[in-house]
Amino acid sequence: MAIALTLHLLAALIWVGGMFFAWLILRPVAATLLEPPTRLTLWLGVFRRFFPWVWGTILILLVSGFWMLFGVFGGMAGAGWHVHLMLVTGLVMMAIFLHIWFAPYSRLGRAVGKEDWAAGAKQLGQIRQLIGLNLILGLVTVAVASGGRFL
């Protein structure tokens, strides 16, 4: 249980913390200081380095989460409401990430490759909105997961 919980917490910390940094720290600075070609190229590079980590965290979250769910709680019936909510919000976050990966991120890469900065900016805007939504869901999930059993 301790290994599963530790892996689960670290994976959530990496994913949610990465989104927090990107959305609230890096994005405003890049938008203020960089022209579109440099800004879009920077973001594509950031995503190329961060998104493999997200794939890894998703795998770890699913494996460790179900390990704890079925190993500790004996399945869904034994889990509290906070575990059910954490599972739902986590799956929604994963679905949003899959959409980002297969749609706007893919189009961003093509736009930057063609130096179509207007199309790239549009895709980056979609990614920004979806990551903002995922960040909110992630913060809610962390709050519910950490404090839900005490309510």
Q: What is the mean pLDDT of residues 108-137?
A: 98
Count of structural domains, the chain: 1
Report the pLDDT value the prediction gives residue 76, as an integer from 0 to 100.
Answer: 77
For the entire predicted model, the pTM comes to 0.94
Tell me the average pLDDT of the chain: 95
For 23-86, give the DSSP string: IIIIHHHHHHH--HHHHHHHHHHHHHHHHHHHHHHHHHHHHHHHHHHHHTSSSGGGS-HHHHHH
Residue with tokens 């736009």: 111
Report yes or no: 57 and 12 within 8 Å, Cβ to Cβ. Answer: yes
* CB atoms near residue 90 (< 10 Å): 21
Tens-place pLDDT, residues 82-121: 899 999 999 999 999 999 999 999 999 999 999 999 999 9
Compute CA distances 73 → 12, 94, 139, whole Å. Answer: 20, 23, 24
Q: What is the mean pLDDT of residues 8-35?
A: 98
Report the pLDDT value the prediction gives residue 99, as an integer from 0 to 100.
Answer: 98
CA distance 23 to 131: 7
Domain coverage including residue 136: 2-150
Report the pLDDT value the prediction gives residue 42, as an integer from 0 to 100.
Answer: 98
Report the pLDDT value the prediction gives residue 85, as an integer from 0 to 100.
Answer: 93
